Amino acid sequence: MQEEYRTVAGEGVHETEVSRSRFLCALAPAATEQEA
């Protein structure tokens, strides 16, 4: 198992449209593997 984990710095939301299809992404930091 890894000793360290990478996570995002803060919360974020992004939406993009490609060929009339919507793609949504929501991110939030995680302090532990279980939280992720």
Our count of domains for the chain comes to 1
Measured CA to CA, the distance from residue 28 to residue 9 in angstroms comes to: 8
What integer pLDDT is reported at residue 8 of this predicted model?
85
First CA to last CA across the chain, in angstroms? 15
What is the maximum alpha-carbon separation in the chain?
42
Q: Binning pLDDT at 50, 70 and 90, where does residue 1 land?
A: low
Q: What domain range includes position 15?
A: 1-36
The contacts of residue 4 (CB under 8 Å, 6+ apart) are none
What integer pLDDT is reported at residue 6 of this predicted model?
75
pTM over 0.85: no
Q: How far is CA 15 from CA 3, 4, 26, in A?
A: 33, 29, 9
Measured CA to CA, the distance from residue 10 to residue 28 in angstroms comes to: 6
